[in-house]
Structures are given as structure tokens and as C-alpha cells.
Amino acid sequence: MGEADMVGLDGRVTGTVGPGLVGEVIVRIRGGAEHFLAYPAQGTGRLPVGTVVTVVEYLPPRTVYVMAAYDN
């Protein structure tokens, strides 16, 4: 799975993502769901558990940068 395949996918925060934190998200890919280590995209604040996010950058094999999918 390449970067182009991951960027733009939606997921859900399962471990708080924020500045100075290594969070976790679950993303539906390859016919299932997988967990990734997650960091906030630049300019993004804290994303609590349950937040729907969009992948904006993928660093193989298991790291993504995310931002909230919807404005609150």
C-alpha cells in the first residue's frame, strides 16, 4: 500500500492524538481495519478518542499524520 492509497482515508482516534503525544487511529483499508500510530498534522491541536479524522500523510509502515475530518 503506497502513500497515495492512504492519504485521504478516514479513520477514528482510538488513543488521543496531540502535540507531544503519539496517538493511535484505526483506519478501514484492504477489506478490514488496521491501527496506526498517529501524530497531528501541522496546525492541528488535540484530537480526543472518538474523533473522526482524515489521513493527510503516511509514513510506512505504520505511522500517519491526521487532522479532524469535520469542523466542530
Nearest one of 57, 62, 72, 45 to 6, comparing CA atoms? 57
In this predicted structure, what is the pLDDT of residue 68?
96
In three-state secondary structure terms, 60 is: coil
Contact between 22 and 14 (Cβ < 8 Å) = no
CA pair distance 72, 66, nearest whole angstrom: 16
Per-residue pLDDT of the chain (72 residues; tens, 9 = 90+): 666 689 999 999 999 999 999 999 999 998 999 999 999 999 889 999 999 999 999 999 999 999 999 976
Nine cell digits for residue 72: 466542530
